[in-house]
Structure 1
C-alpha cells in the first residue's frame, strides 16, 4: 500500500472558467493556469504521482509544453491513472477538501 498527499492552489482571475473536478462552476472568476487549472484534479493527480515516487505534475505536464496548454485536467488525471496502473497499483480511496472564497459552494 502506498499513500500520496498533495494540495494545489491557483489564483482566481477574470476571463477564465472555474473548473473543479472536471465540473464547470458558474462564476465570474476562474483559476489561472496553463491547463484548465482544475486544482482538485491537479491535487489528486499529484498525490497519485507522489505515492508512486514519480515526482510532481510539473515533471510530467510542464507548463512550458504547448501540448498541455488549455488541456482538461481530467486528461492529466487519466494519464496519472495510466502510470499508476503500469506500476500495478489501484486507488483504494480519495479524500479531498476544496477551500475557496468565491463563489460560495454548499
Structure 2
C-alpha cells in the first residue's frame, strides 16, 4: 500500500498550507536510485508514526524544487502550517527520519 501522497504545483498550495500538523515532503525523481530506496522507508514512517508524507517529482515540478532550495535529491523537508522547518538531503534511514520527527514534534 502506498501511503505517499503525490503533489504538484497546484495541489501543493492547498494541501500543505492547510496542514497544521507536522508533515514530511520528499522531493525525488523517477530515475533516482536513492529516491527509490527512500520510498519504502517513508511509507513505513508514515504508517508507524501516523504522519502524512507527500512526494514531489522534481522533474515535473521544478518550480517547487527551486522555491524550497532543493539542489540534491532525495530531499526530505519537514513542514508545519505551510512553513519549512528542516531539510535533510540524501538517503536517510528510518531511524534518522524518526529522530528528526521526534525533535520537531
TM-score range, shorter chain: 0.3 to 0.5
Q: Quick check: which has more Rg, 1 or 2?
A: 1
| Greater relative contact order (Cα < 8 A, sep 6+) | 2
TM-score, length of structure 1 as denominator length: 0.32
